[in-house]
């Protein structure tokens, strides 16, 4: 997805902690409440980057897309645009998107599948619901994230990897039903390879179910897609990113039937600069990418002749 000119969301203060006899551990480090914005009829909630936190592990961009109804099969029509220095992960709950890129990839993204596009030294792609197989009355609903790449891999060759829902390991039992999308969580390992240690999962929780806080993840967050969870004696509703204190123990409890994304990984090796769709540890590299896109030096997206012009600022 192309970076849109949405103001970065404000990050709330750490919530008041419940009395010590109500909790076993203080697990919450930070709470981020995204601002909801309408991008020409398409609603997003952007949790990262936030005003006081750029990343959780390698996750530098975290958008909840929709749920938005498809009108005449259209809702998300993102023309070809460029990326450098990152990897995109598209994961849908409903609806379908047709992905095309400058490598020649043509891949319909369906619910439950994982699609990792590594931009590295540079790639262009488009995302269109109108070209995918969406039935009348369908809606588009999902999460798109960007993973910052380690400095040593920022200029790696671009690549695209797709794994269907059937290839992702499942988590089931005790009121939990989910998939590990990337990395290893709760004894399950996904087939997706990343350039830095990364963990990502989609978990449905029945009312009263407990989700243990993951072990061995340097930076970790829980994003509540729907429902509500309790942690540290506090209630966190849908559209909330709860950043977990490193080394914290305990579990989140579903107060209602809920859907939670677990995300995180090793802390990134320093701050990243973000301009439009470009991420880099170097401001000069971003300036080069801007000039390359403006001059038409990125490889074109095969089968999609439109493009998004370089913003003036």
Task: Return the pLDDT at 43.
Answer: 76
Judge residue 186's burial from the number of C-beta atoms within 10 Å of its C-beta, 0-12 exposed, 13-18 middle, 19 or more buried.
Answer: middle
Tokens of 178: 């989910």
* Residues 6+ away with beta carbon under 8 Å from 212: 186, 250, 251
Q: Global pTM?
A: 0.90
pLDDT digits (tens, 9 = 90+) for 190-233: 999 999 999 999 999 999 999 999 999 999 999 999 999 999 99
Please, are residues 68 and 43 in contact by the beta-carbon 8 Å criterion?
Answer: yes
| Whether the predicted pLDDT of 24 surpasses 50 | no
pLDDT digits (tens, 9 = 90+) for 46-98: 999 999 999 999 999 999 998 988 876 566 789 999 999 999 999 999 999 99
274 membership: H or E segment, kind and range: strand 273-275
Tokens of 212: 């243990």
* Residues 6+ away with beta carbon under 8 Å from 69: 75, 137, 138, 139
Under the banding of pLDDT at 50, 70 and 90, the label for residue 311 is: very high
Distance CA 127, CA 175 (A): 35
Distance CA 288, CA 274 (A): 13
Distance CA 204, CA 297 (A): 44
């Amino acid at each position: 997805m192309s970076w849109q000119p949405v103001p970065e969301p404000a990050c709330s203060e750490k919530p008041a902690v419940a009395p010590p006899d109500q909790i076993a551990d203080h697990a919450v480090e930070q709470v981020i409440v995204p601002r909801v914005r309408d991008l020409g009829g398409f609603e997003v909630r952007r949790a990262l980057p936030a005003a006081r936190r750029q990343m959780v592990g390698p996750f530098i961009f975290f958008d909840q897309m929709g749920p938005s109804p498809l009108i005449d099969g259209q809702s998300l029509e993102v023309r070809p645009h460029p990326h450098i220095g990152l990897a995109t992960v598209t994961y849908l709950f409903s609806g379908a998107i047709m992905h095309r890129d400058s490598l020649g990839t043509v891949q319909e993204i369906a619910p439950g599948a994982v699609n990792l596009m590594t931009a590295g030294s540079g790639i262009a792609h488009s995302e269109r619901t109108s070209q995918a197989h969406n039935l009348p009355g369908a809606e588009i609903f999902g999460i798109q994230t960007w993973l910052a790449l380690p400095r040593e891999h920022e200029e790696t060759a671009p690549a695209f990897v797709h794994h269907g829902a059937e290839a992702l390991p499942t988590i089931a039992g005790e009121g939990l039903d989910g998939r590990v999308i990337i990395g290893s969580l709760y004894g399950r390992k996904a087939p997706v390879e990343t350039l830095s240690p990364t963990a990502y999962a989609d978990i449905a929780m029945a009312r009263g179910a407990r989700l243990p806080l993951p072990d061995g993840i340097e930076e970790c967050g829980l994003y509540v897609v729907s429902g509500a969870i309790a942690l540290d004696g506090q209630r966190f509703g849908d559209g909330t990113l709860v950043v977990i204190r490193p080394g914290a123990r305990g579990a989140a409890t579903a107060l209602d039937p809920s859907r939670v994304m677990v995300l995180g990984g090793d802390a990134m090796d320093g701050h990243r600069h973000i301009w439009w769709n470009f991420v880099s540890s170097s401001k000069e590299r971003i300036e080069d990418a801007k000039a390359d896109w403006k001059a038409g030096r990125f490889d074109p997206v095969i089968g999609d002749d439109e493009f998004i012009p370089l913003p003036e600022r």
